[in-house]
Amino acid sequence: MSCYDFLVEVKKSTQLAHLPFLITSLDNIPEEIQKLLDAGAKDCIVKPVSLNSLPRILSNM
């Protein structure tokens, strides 16, 4: 099961849909990142993670 498939299934659940998802990825492919965001991810961090970006990302969670 892919990350996208997992996210879609969780968001279908009335008990779990409220959970925020922060995706981490090695791939910096804008279309794939947008697909995950459209499926309900709160944000996506591309590895390697920049410590400077963490406060902004976590404040949106």
SS3 22: strand
58 by Cβ neighbours in 10 Å (0-12 / 13-18 / 19+) ranks as exposed
Q: Does 31 have pLDDT greater than 80? A: yes
Backbone angles phi, psi at 40, to 5 degrees: 125, 0
Domain ranges of the chain: 3-59
Q: What is the CATH number of domain 3-59?
A: 3.40.50.2300
Q: Is this prediction's pTM over 0.85?
A: no
Confidence label for 41 from pLDDT (cuts 50, 70 and 90): very high
User: DSSP character for 20?
Assistant: -
The mean pLDDT value of the chain amounts to 91
Confidence label for 19 from pLDDT (cuts 50, 70 and 90): very high
SS3 38: helix
